[in-house]
């Protein structure tokens, strides 16, 4: 029997959740009939008496100071409509375990299952059924994981018996049948399917479902990076595979700070005091497109595990979030079938990143959001994480034969089955239905305590090797870890969330918050004891062997028996053709501006320029107490910074800088120069804050539509740009990820390719965090100077052009020969304490950078356009690698920057305005209050 406890805030208690939803209903959905919303919690408790349910209500669920409750009775009775939204059965509700634990702590035994959900009461006489449907479908319920409870469930216990292991008769299949087998499930091409067929013909048996699934996920684009490893024919000429080019460039620059590149779960760089720092950036586009909250959470959780699974275990220091969405005010009819609205996506993705990072105690303190209409079919959700570990344990471990395979963390359920193959496929209007099992709700507390246990085990030297259990689940984690030795596991030892999983599901499940370790037999007991102390489940699944086979058993029967060699080296190298043709975009008709206040306001209020502070405030960017340059500083904390600076070793001034850069529009105009821009922007952001360009490393993330010949040509150019950048700057890429599935294909044949995105992340070290600067102006009467090379007619892809309704063709072309000289000059100036403030110039150009420096400083500025320069281009050009700096009055800027071009553009003032002069005349005087309002408004509307 299930007892239901409902809990609500007493009269007079602000219902923040209800008010928030009401705002969304009124503003985002435009429904005015709802006047008020009350929210209540519902707890379902199975296996205890009503008397115990009352006790639980009193002692745990409701606090009489501010709440009232009912047991097995309605609570919201006067509303026009009352409905309850709960997680679907089988979707793990993290709160259930806490309910069971706390009941036991209170001495209430017999609680076999529990659940919690939300009830909403809608008030208003004119509410229609249609209104409620829209509210439910577009705001309250994500049908992938949630449902409206029409009838209370009879039990919360999930039962089931495991299915048998099936034999897939691939040996007899014709091409059509092989295609059918692959479609929606394996996502392999016919050639690859035939290689599998030939292998099994060779060993004279058919594969089990476990085997074929394991091969499919190992060979998926997501895990196998087939495009990046392919032999490329570019315009008929053979070129080295993309990944090889990137790796070669890194090796060539022989940067002594690189400790581990492209071989572990993250890239590792030497830090100070015997420590190393590491970084990894992941994309989580496909899951976030269909269930943004769960998708963003599991994206964060996965990239954190990549850090925790680096070397013999690292501590996560920080996370970054970088998103690309369609504008939040996109008309509903513009959203392709099967896709979610960007307003909802944006809010839910941010909520996912917030809830995972905050609960883990990992500060999210660097990020950005980019908007472009073409992301309406699929957003780009990029999450990064950075960590620290002793340099002595920073290399990837390898298991020895005889080591135990230990699974750590959460139980295994049907979550995320086919995640690896799913994220490698295109998104279609069927994606939402077919792949709904590919997402789940993350459980950050599970992950946090697992990390606590891992660090304790690492410090006692108990870990021989460790890796994340992510895409492909155990099949990938154990298969990869044992690739040089062999591994044998018993699937029936895996702790399950509920019974009934078939062996292949256990093997492939992508349930979150799990990791796999190799542990020497003599250390197993101690490891298990540590895990018990931290409330972490740890299970010995089997052994690493010396037979170079991957074997799994279930109920003493072998369900998987593959040669590691075939699994990891059997995938044929693809040969792919690439050819890029430069598209031609419209040029603006006229490039002169009219009303300056209006123009500045529109530039500052452009979605790609506007303040993202409302998002940053939702993240705990201060936890761990390491932040020496936070995302926002200055008067009222309104001035945005270019990078984050952390002091990760408490009590020391050693610093780590993290930043990133990307510009989807520029990549569309020209993938080579667009990519150079992204890399330059990433490092400029760091250098503007005080990073040393000689002690920095990079991470690449290519987020591309499904690569046809044209797009592969674009990818080829983007990789060339990265390689050229590395050669010119000696900043190596040490980690990266490609996600080549950003194409949407509708039933009617409509294809939407999202803009190709190269996101470059940068991290580096500096000896002293006190030698860094923020962007906010510090004083009045300082000199404002512009540093760097730019050709201001290169306006294509700028925010200014976008406001003129054009893209243009002449985009900023970074001059790699001169870039290092500029970066070193800026670093020299910052680190020697000669600058009061420094800001890199990017979207919105000099005008936006200057305005932001004023917002943060509470100062004004008086600037002049140099004679002969076109005013709009001077103000709004977006060439990366250029900087605005504040220098104390009386200092000679030409001595500060030496041979690098410096333009003195004006002075800071005590007024609350920006005055622009040209040829001795005042062009305009702009009220900073007005500009700031335009700049802050867009995200305030989304995140009220």
Which residues are at the interface with another protein (CB under 8 A)?
9, 13-14, 16-17, 19-20, 59-61, 63-66, 94-95, 98-99, 101-102, 105-107, 116, 354, 358-361, 443-445, 448-449, 452, 532-535, 616-625, 627-628, 630, 632-634, 637, 647, 650-651, 653, 769-770, 773-774, 776, 778
Q: Which is nearer to another protein, 341 or 448 (CB)?
A: 448
Q: Which of 225, 284, 621, 660 is catalytic?
A: 284
Q: Which is nearer to another protein, 188 or 616 (CB)?
A: 616
Q: Which of 222, 225, 341, 660 is catalytic?
A: 222
Q: Which is nearer to another protein, 358 or 539 (CB)?
A: 358
Q: Which is nearer to another protein, 136 or 317 (CB)?
A: 317
Q: By the 8 A CB rule, do 857 and 776 touch?
A: yes
Q: Which residues contact 29 (CB under 8 A, 6 or more apart)?
A: 134, 135, 138, 139
Q: Name the DSSP letter for residue 111.
A: -
Q: Which is nearer to another protein, 228 or 943 (CB)?
A: 943
The least CB distance from residue 316 to another protein, in Å, is 11
The least CB distance from residue 311 to another protein, in Å, is 20
- Distance CA(574)–CA(231), nearest Å, equals 6
Angle 283-496-48 (CA atoms, 0-180°, nearest 5)?
A: 120
| Structure-token pair, residue 280 | 């990894």
Using alpha carbons, list the distances in angstroms from residue 732 to 642, 689, 719, 762. 21, 20, 13, 10
Angle 53-57-62 (CA atoms, 0-180°, nearest 5)?
A: 165
Helix, coil or strand: residue 654: coil
State the burial class of residue 422 (Cβ atoms within 10 Å of its Cβ: 0-12, 13-18, 19+).
buried
The least CB distance from residue 459 to another protein, in Å, is 12
The least CB distance from residue 187 to another protein, in Å, is 35
The least CB distance from residue 601 to another protein, in Å, is 24
The least CB distance from residue 620 to another protein, in Å, is 4
Query: Three-class SS string for 402-420?
Result: CCEEEEEECCECCCCCCHH
875 half-sphere exposure, CB direction, 13 A CA radius: 25
Q: Name the DSSP letter for residue 34.
A: -
Helix, coil or strand: residue 808: coil
The least CB distance from residue 15 to another protein, in Å, is 8
Q: Is 222 a catalytic residue?
A: yes
Q: Which is nearer to another protein, 19 or 484 (CB)?
A: 19
Q: Which residues pair with 434 in a beta bridge?
A: none
Q: Name the DSSP letter for residue 154.
A: S
Please name the helix (run of DSSP H) or strand (run of DSSP E) that holds residue 26, with its range, or none: helix 16-27
- Distance CA(98)–CA(492), nearest Å, equals 26
| Structure-token pair, residue 591 | 């490039």
State the burial class of residue 484 (Cβ atoms within 10 Å of its Cβ: 0-12, 13-18, 19+).
middle
Q: Which is nearer to another protein, 17 or 497 (CB)?
A: 17
Q: By the 8 A CB rule, do 850 and 609 touch?
A: no
Q: Is 284 a catalytic residue?
A: yes
Q: Which is nearer to another protein, 597 or 912 (CB)?
A: 912
| Structure-token pair, residue 225 | 């990076």
By residue count, the chain amounts to: 944
Nearest to 473 by CA among 166, 657, 217, 829: 217
Q: Which is nearer to another protein, 65 or 273 (CB)?
A: 65
Q: Which is nearer to another protein, 821 or 912 (CB)?
A: 912
Q: By the 8 A CB rule, do 183 and 421 touch?
A: no
- Torsions phi, psi for 75 (to 5 deg): -120, -50
The least CB distance from residue 79 to another protein, in Å, is 19
Q: Which residues contact 6 (CB under 8 A, 6 or more apart)?
A: 40, 41, 42, 43, 69, 70, 73, 74, 75, 119
Catalytic residues: 222, 284
């Amino acid at each position: 029997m299930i007892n239901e406890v409902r809990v609500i805030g007493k009269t007079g208690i602000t219902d923040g959740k209800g008010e928030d939803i009401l705002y969304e209903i009124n503003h985002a959905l435009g429904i005015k009939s709802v006047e008020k919303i009350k929210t209540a919690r519902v707890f379902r408790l199975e296996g205890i008496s009503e008397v115990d349910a009352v006790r639980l209500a009193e002692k745990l669920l409701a606090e009489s100071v501010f709440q009232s409750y009912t047991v097995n009775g309605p609570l919201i009775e006067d509303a026009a409509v009352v409905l309850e939204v709960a997680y679907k059965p089988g979707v793990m509700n993290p709160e259930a375990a806490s309910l069971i634990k706390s009941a036991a702590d209170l001495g209430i035994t017999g609680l076999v299952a529990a659940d919690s959900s939300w009830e909403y009461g809608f008030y208003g006489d004119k509410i229609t059924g249609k209104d409620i449907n829209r509210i439910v479908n577009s705001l309250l319920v994500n049908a992938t994981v949630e449902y409206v409870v029409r009838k209370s469930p009879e039990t919360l216990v999930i039962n089931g018996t495991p299915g048998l292991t099936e034999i897939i008769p691939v040996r007899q299949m014709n091409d059509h049948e092989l295609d059918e087998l692959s479609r929606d499930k394996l996502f392999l091409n016919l050639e690859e399917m035939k290689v599998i067929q030939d292998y099994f013909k060779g060993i004279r048996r058919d594969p089990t479902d476990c085997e074929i699934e394991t091969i499919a996920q190992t060979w998926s684009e997501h895990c196998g990076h087939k495009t990046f490893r392919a032999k490329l024919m570019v315009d008929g000429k053979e070129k080295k595979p993309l990944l090889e080019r990137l790796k070669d460039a890194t090796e060539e620059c022989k940067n002594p700070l690189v400790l581990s590149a492209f071989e572990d779960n993250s890239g590792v760089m030497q830090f100070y005091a015997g420590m190393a720092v590491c970084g990894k950036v992941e994309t989580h586009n496909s899951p976030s497109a269909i269930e943004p909250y769960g998708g963003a959470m599991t994206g964060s959780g996965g990239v954190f595990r990549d850090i925790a699974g680096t070397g013999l275990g690292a501590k996560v220091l920080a996370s970054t979030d970088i998103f690309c969405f369609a504008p939040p005010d996109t008309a509903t009819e513009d959203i392709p079938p099967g896709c979610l609205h960007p307003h909802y996506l944006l809010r839910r993705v941010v909520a996912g990143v917030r809830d995972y990072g905050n609960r883990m105690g990992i500060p999210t303190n660097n990020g950005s959001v980019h908007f472009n209409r073409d992301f309406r079919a699929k957003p780009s959700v990029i999450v990064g994480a950075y960590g620290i570990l002793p340099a002595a344990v920073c290399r990837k471990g390898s298991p020895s034969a005889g080591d135990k395979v230990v699974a750590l963390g959460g139980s295994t359920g049907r979550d995320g089955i086919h995640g690896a193959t799913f994220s490698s496929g295109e998104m279609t209007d069927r994606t939402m239905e077919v792949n709904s099992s590919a997402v789940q709700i993350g459980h950050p507390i599970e992950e946090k305590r697992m990390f606590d246990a891992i660090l304790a085990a690492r410090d006692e030297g108990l870990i021989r090797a460790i890796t994340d259990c992510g895409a492909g689940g155990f099949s990938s984690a154990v298969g990869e870890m044992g690739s040089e030795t062999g591994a044998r596991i018993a699937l029936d030892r895996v702790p399950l969330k509920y019974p009934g999983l078939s062996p292949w599901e256990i093997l492939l499940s992508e349930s979150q918050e799990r990791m796999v370790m190799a542990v020497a037999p003599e250390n197993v007991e101690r490891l298990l004891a540590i895990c018990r102390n931290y409330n972490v489940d740890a299970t010995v699944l089997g052994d690493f062997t010396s037979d170079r086979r991957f074997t799994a058993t279930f109920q003493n029967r072998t369900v998987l028996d593959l040669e590691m060699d075939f699994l990891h080296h059997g995938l044929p190298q693809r040969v792919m053709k690439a050819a890029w043709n430069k598209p031609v975009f419209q040029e603006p008709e006229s490039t002169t501006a009219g009303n300056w206040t209006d123009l500045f306001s529109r530039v500052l209020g452009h979605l790609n320029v506007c303040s993202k502070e409302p998002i940053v405030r939702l993240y705990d960017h201060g936890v761990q107490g390491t932040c020496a340059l936070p995302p926002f500083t200055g008067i009222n904390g309104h001035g945005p910074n270019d990078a984050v600076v952390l002091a990760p070793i408490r009590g020391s001034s050693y610093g780590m800088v993290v930043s990133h850069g990307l510009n989807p529009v520029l990549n569309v105009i020209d993938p080579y120069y667009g990519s150079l821009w992204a890399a330059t922007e990433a490092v400029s952001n760091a250098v503007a804050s005080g990073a040393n360009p000689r002690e920095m490393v990079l991470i690449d993330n290519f987020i591309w539509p499904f690569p046809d010949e044209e797009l592969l040509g674009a990818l080829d150019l983007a990789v060339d740009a990265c390689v050229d950048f590395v050669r010119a700057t000696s900043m190596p890429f040490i980690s990266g990820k490609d996600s080549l599935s950003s194409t949407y294909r509708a039933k009617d044949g409509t294809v939407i390719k999202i803009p190709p995105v190269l996101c470059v992340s940068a991290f580096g070290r500096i000896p002293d965090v006190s030698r860094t600067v923020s962007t906010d102006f510090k004083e009045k009467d300082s000199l404002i100077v512009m540093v760097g090379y730019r050709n201001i007619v290169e306006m294509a892809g700028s925010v200014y052009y976008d406001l003129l309704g054009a893209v243009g063709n002449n985009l900023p072309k970074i001059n790699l020969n001169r870039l290092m000289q500029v970066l070193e000059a800026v670093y020299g100036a910052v680190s020697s304490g000669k600058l009061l403030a420094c800001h890199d110039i990017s979207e919105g150009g000099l005008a936006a950078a200057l305005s932001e420096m004023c917002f943060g400083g509470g100062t004004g500025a008086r600037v002049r356009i140099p004679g002969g320069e076109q005013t709009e281009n001077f103000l709004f050009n977006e060439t990366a690698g250029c900087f605005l700096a504040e220098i104390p009055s009386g200092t000679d800027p030409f001595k500060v920057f030496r041979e690098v071009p410096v333009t003195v553009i004006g002075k800071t003032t005590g007024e609350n305005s920006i005055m622009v002069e040209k040829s001795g005349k005042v062009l305009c005087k702009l009220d900073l209050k007005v500009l700031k309002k335009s700049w802050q408004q867009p995200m305030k509307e989304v995140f009220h």
